[in-house]
Structure 1
Amino acid sequence: MDTEAHHAERDHSRPPSSEGPAAQWSRFARMSAAALTGRLPGGGRTLAVLLCVLLLLSATAFVLQPFEIPSRSMEPGLRVGDRVLVNKVAYRFGAEPQRGDVVVFDGTGYFGGGDYVKRVVGVGGDHVVCCDSQGRIEVNGEAVDERGYLYPKDAPSRAPFDVTVPDGTLFLLGDHRSLSSDSRDRLGAPGGGMLPVGAVIGRAEWIAWPAGHWGGVHG
């Protein structure tokens, strides 16, 4: 009787699962998704929309970073309190900052602690001089037309300079030259006022706030 009872109990028990960990996890995920779908208004369609939103937010965080303009050094284009979107992948995959780009960078050890925003005036190998007979900055012997972004009535620079930008670095200036602390102020410091390309966080692309100042960043 004991043997028969033992066999009867064994015969009625649930056989052990032959699923591997991956199959068990897949089954659990399907059951969880089904349970969640049943609780959401709209069911599967709502769940699909939520997943798309989460994926979009994750991708946006990887590609874009908001940055609040802290000073008047980039007027008139960027004003104090503007929120700009910084393209963090602009200089990935072999791309390099170009003259005229407005970049956000980590100034630690070069411009002071914290993040800054300036315009690229010279890249590695450039010979940058201020100023020619008409008061314009020259890069590699050619005058730079800065009328599209330079602060009205500001001179390109009140301090003369004549520099050659080392490879892998940038020469940076603010658009409101009379109020900007930039590469000019650090010419005699270690590094000669140049910023390593690796310190660049990304390129400022778009003014997202305030609503009345929406638009692309002049580059």
Structure 2
Amino acid sequence: MVEPVPSHAAEDEPERPEDGDPSQNSEPESGRAAGRARRQRRPKKQRPFWKELPILIVVALVLAFLIQQFLARVYMIPSGSMEETLHGCPGCTPDRILVDKVTYDFTDPGPGDVVVFRGPDAWLEGEPPAQTSSNGVAQFFQSIGSAFGLAPPDERDFVKRIIATGGQTVECCDDKNRVLVDGQPLDEPYIHWEGAPVQRDFEPVTVPEGTVWVMGDNRNNSSDSRYQGGGGENGAVPVANIIGKARFIVLPPTRWGTVSDHNPQESAAATAMGAPAWQQGMPLGAGLIAAWPVVLAGRRTGSAVRGAVDRRR
């Protein structure tokens, strides 16, 4: 018969340090610090995609609003007064143009520039009030659509081409049916004729300082400085009313391209005395710089949405 072996578990068990005696703690301080660091490095739980999506949309809208408020904005052409340069004719898909709002912070508007501007008071006298929906929700979406070029702009906004600037005298026409500025005929290859290619005569007008004289490329179907405010000096547009310069056609894709800013006052003598090439290129460079944030913001927003989708997967 085998006798049981007496247990000495109590004797074999090593002594444990008493609580509160740091000198007897078997775990070194560096080990505890490393453990805390590992716990702090644990990845946080990812926020669900359905919670991130509204934040991304709000951020994208805020960025787009700030860009369009201060740098560049997309406008939809509401009429055919600038055919064929800009489409807005009945039955066709209206062009969406990118308007550079920075260029005129560094340069003055010049002949040939296609500009978007707020109608002066003289242009709006006798005009019926803009018809807006009484539905607040419809008004909200109308304003949002207009801001992003998806709906017609404010009826007080116009798009025309600058023909003459402050201090110059404009009149029509010479024996070849050409507009004259300071007695010199204009070179206007952009003119589009509806019907007979004949312009209506008007008496010489000296454009007041701080204003510009504007006309539509669709010369016989444009209500511009010749007619607005009764014509004459009242038809001129204050430079302060100019919102920006039309740079690019961004939609539809079949119409992509730059907007012509051909200077109609150029002649052999003016070209010889013209500004250096680098100076003439400054407005276009400023326009490209202004347009870049729009593209960059779109790319970053798209990348953020794709990243959120990938994390959700």
Q: TM-score, normalised by structure 1?
A: 0.70
Q: Give the residue type in structure 2 aligned to 1:64.
A: A
Answer whether contact 2:120 2:238 (CA < 8 A) is retained: no
- 1:74 has 2:115 as partner: no
2:42 and 2:221 map into 1 onto residues whose CA distance is: 60
Q: 1:59 to 1:151 in 2, by over 3 A?
A: same
1:204 match: secondary structure: strand
CA distance 1:54–1:185, shift in 2 (3 Å): closer
Correspondence 1:85 to 2:98: yes
- Pairs within 5 Å for 1:1-219: 39=46, 57=64, 60-61=67-68, 62-80=70-88, 81-93=94-106, 95-112=107-124, 114-147=156-189, 149-152=190-193, 155=197, 157-186=199-228, 188=230, 191-219=233-261
Q: Which amino acid aligns with 1:68?
A: M
* Cα offsets for 1:81-135 (capped at 9, x unmatched): 1100000111114x21100000000004132251000000010011111111111
Moved more, 185-194 or 163-172: 185-194
Q: Identity across aligned pairs (percent)?
A: 40
Aligned to 2:57: none
Q: Secondary structure at the match of 1:97?
A: coil
Q: Which runs of 5+ in 2 are unaligned?
A: 1-40, 48-59, 89-93, 125-154, 262-313
C-alpha distance in structure 2 between counterparts of 1:138 and 1:145, whole Å: 10
- Render the CA deviation track for 1:47-93: whole Å, top value 9, x for unaligned: xxxxxx89975774321111110000000010111100000111114
What residue number does 2:303 align with?
A: none
Would you say the 8 A contact 1:63–1:89 is kept in 2? yes
1:212 partner SS: helix
The letter for the 1-side match of 2:246 is: A
Per-residue Cα deviation, 1:119-161 (whole angstroms, up to 9, x for no partner): 00010011111111111011112111102x1004664622323
- Would the alpha carbon gap of residues 38 and 161 (structure 1) be closer, same or farther in structure 2, given more than 3 Å must change? farther
SS at match of 2:230: coil
C-alpha separation in 2, matches of 1:72 and 1:129: 24
Task: Please state how far the C-alpha of 1:186 moved relative to its aligned partner.
Answer: 2.9
SS in structure 2 of the partner of residue 91 of structure 1: helix
The offset of 1:35, in angstroms, is: 10
- Report if aligned partners of 2:123, 2:229 keep a CA contact under 8 Å in 1: no
Structure 1's 138 and 208: CA in aligned 2 closer, same or farther, altered over 3 A? Answer: same
Shift of 1:214: 0.6
Residue 151 of structure 1 aligns with an amino acid whose one-letter code is: H
- Report the TM-score when normalising by structure 2: 0.50
Aligned amino acid, residue 168 of structure 1: G
Aligned residues: 175
- Classify the secondary structure of the residue corresponding to 1:206: strand
**Does structure 1 retain, via aligned residues, the 8 Å contact 2:193–2:220?**
no
SS of the aligned residue for 1:125 comes to coil
Q: Distance in 2 between matches of 1:92 and 1:37?
A: 47
Contact conserved, 1:150 with 1:156, CA < 8 A, in 2? no
For residues 104 and 191 of structure 2, what CA distance do their matches in structure 1 show?
A: 25
CA-CA distance at 1:199 after TM superposition = 0.3
* Equivalent residue, structure 2, for 1:23: none
List structure 1 segments (4+ residues) > 4 angstroms apart after TM superposition. Answer: 34-38, 53-59
